[in-house]
Structure 1
Amino acid sequence: MALRPVQVNIKARDSSAAGRFWAQALGWHLFEPGVTTYVGPTSKFVWPDPTTLGINVVPVPDAKTAAKNSAHLDLATTSAAHQAGLVARLRALGATPVDIGQGDVPWTVLADPEGNEFCVLEPRETYRDVGPIARIVVDCADPQAMAGFWDEATDWTLREVTGDRAVLRSPRDLGPYLEFVRTSEATPPSGRVHLDLRPYPGDDKAADVATLRALGATDLDLGQGDVSWTCLSDPEGHPFCVLAA
């Protein structure tokens, strides 16, 4: 099985406006190839991007209701001045400061105009080569269990496993990291921000989905109806989708 993460899926009432925010926030480009709004790093619509994860903003009728999403983006910076300037620019674009109990930390927690939390990190050497998105962070109860599932579920490489976090990255050492971080407070899994996976051309999507179920994934009914993708939850209940090859 060689499923690969191809995009971060973000739900929004106004997908065009949310897409514009993220395009400006990341310095990327905006495309609207259909009902969704895609944000990617190149001036041409290239999907999936071969070097990073794009953002696909999907329109939904309902506003965000959870106090905190179970997954969020962390943005990278290269200096203290860069961090301060980026925070100021994001706030001018419509981001707002939010308190999720982070306390006195060196990073800044903001929410996009739809209320989805994200962080602007202080400079960290680990994320110097990742691009504007440092990592996708998923709250979890058991990072080691998540490491076992996601290492088998995708072609990404497991980089670190401790009692507090599990870290994966593309085998090409490109783009952001995927990090499962232990949280002291239970965060109900939500699909407002989640990953989409895709088989490689020629692979058998049905067989890949069957393997995911054998690993502990469960089917998820979001009211999606008859669609070409398959909605699943990982063993802790975090939603994700397997797209058609």
Structure 2
Amino acid sequence: MPVRWEQVVVDAKDPARLAQWWAEALGYVIVNETPDEVEIRRTPDELPGLLFTPVTDAKVVKNRLHIDLRPDDQEAEVERLVDMGARQADIGQQGVGWVVLADPEGNEFCVLSSRK
């Protein structure tokens, strides 16, 4: 039986705000928005997407699943994301080739170095 990866679900205190932040960060578009969820994708017909759903509890521990981004210029991308509201995150990494950031709600993600 074939299966297709549809989306990653992200719990959020403010799904609309966080979806908009990630859409801008990734160059994605909002493809569906209701009071209960907001979905973003690279293009309306391209999967997978990120689906933001509301939760009332705060994030308190390191994510067990996270997104890795690989830009052409790691330093410039980190600067851009921090200017957008991301913050540096310390999860115990030392001497690695990536930078750990957290989005406006504290979800960690990595900005990897270029493959070049």
Describe how 1:190-209 pairs up with structure 2 within 5 A: none
What is the alpha-carbon distance in structure 2 between the residues aligned to residue 122 and residue 95 of structure 1? 18
Task: Give the Cα separation in 1 of the matches to 2:81 and 2:113.
Answer: 15
What TM-score results when the alignment is normalised by the length of structure 2?
0.91
- Counterpart CA distance in 1 for 2:108 and 2:4 is 25
Aligned mates of 1:86, 1:25 — CA distance in 2: 9
Aligned length: 115
Residues 1-245 of structure 1: pairs in structure 2 closer than 5 A: 1-34=1-34, 35-42=36-43, 45-46=44-45, 49=46, 52-66=47-61, 68-78=62-72, 82-124=73-115
How far apart are 1:31 and its partner, in Å?
A: 3.5
- In the aligned structure 1, how far is the partner of 2:84 from the partner of 2:58? 19
For normalisation by structure 1, the TM-score amounts to: 0.45
SS in 2 for 1:5: coil
| Separation in structure 1 between the aligned mates of residue 101 and residue 49 of structure 2, nearest angstrom | 20
1:71 aligned counterpart, secondary structure = coil
Once residues 41 and 12 of structure 2 are traced to their aligned partners in structure 1, the CA distance between those partners, rounded to angstroms, is: 17
Q: Which runs of 4+ in 1 moved over 6 A?
A: none
Q: Following the alignment from structure 1 to structure 2, what is the Cα–Cα distance between the partners of residues 90 and 59?
A: 23
Give the 3-state SS of the residue equivalent to 2:6 in structure 1. Answer: strand
What is the identity percentage for the equivalent residue pairs of Structure 1 and Structure 2?
43
Distance 1:33 1:115 in 2: 22
- Deviation of 1:54 after TM superposition, in Å, equals 1.2
CA distance in 1: counterparts of 2:114 and 2:95, whole angstroms: 16
Unaligned runs of 5+ in 2: none
Bigger-Rg structure (1/2): 1
Provide the C-alpha distance between the structure 2 equivalents of 1:30 and 1:93, rounded to a whole number of angstroms: 18
Q: CA deviation at 1:63?
A: 1.2
Q: CA offset at residue 25 of structure 1? A: 0.6
Structure 1 spans left out of the alignment, 5+ residues: 126-245
- d(CA) in 2 for partners of 1:95 and 1:61? 21
Q: Shift of the alpha carbon at 1:88? A: 0.7
